[in-house]
Chains A and B, each alone.
Chain A
């Protein structure tokens, strides 16, 4: 089995600050994802990457940057934190090429963001 590690677990930022969230996986999966989870809402796709150095925008990419430095890691940057923003950011990975009909996402435990 493998594991997805997200750091930090909790992140408190100031309005306007640039904040970076990190994700590591040891499944050796090709595809990695960043989702945003707001309280009481579904998960929304921010960015995904199908291989090292690849980046694809999701439904919610505005206000975020991402970087896939190597196959095992995928980072997300909030370019300018919004006052009173509160959400959980979930990183996931899966084997490339399967598509939703076969795909299984493995998630990390999330980074909880609060902006003062």
Chain B
């Protein structure tokens, strides 16, 4: 498997708090993408970070990539109840296609 963590992780926080979610991968990748999946919907891309970038920001989101430790993180500042979702990281896997980790289930309580 490509992933350091095979099973879905879960976090529960209060609205307004900041949160960081991590993912670790086993095989070198040129890119990490983060997706968010809300209940009953398909995943939607949030951020793409390449191996030559250490950090990428988009609004309240910040992604980091550490190729030496083969890990990436996604931080959300000032969370809202609407941020409640499952967050996946995805890397370039076999067939040169995206492979998705198990994800983190984030619950933001109002």
Contacts and interface: CB of A to CB of B under 8 A. Distances in A.
A43 B96 CA distance: 15
- Greatest chain B CB density within 10 A among A41, A44, A92, A110 is at A41
Contact of B102 (A4, A33, A41, A59): A41
Contacts, number: 79
Interface residues of A, number: 27
Interface residues of B, number: 32
A33 B96 CA distance: 13
Interface in B1-41: 3, 6-8, 29-31, 33, 35, 40-41
The 3 closest A-B pairs by CB, nearest first: A107-B42, A100-B92, A43-B100
27 contacts: A4-B42, A35-B100, A40-B7, A40-B8, A41-B7, A41-B8, A42-B6, A42-B102, A42-B103, A43-B99, A59-B93, A59-B94, A59-B95, A92-B42, A100-B29, A100-B30, A100-B90, A100-B98, A101-B92, A102-B48, A104-B33, A104-B48, A105-B35, A106-B42, A107-B43, A109-B41, A110-B41
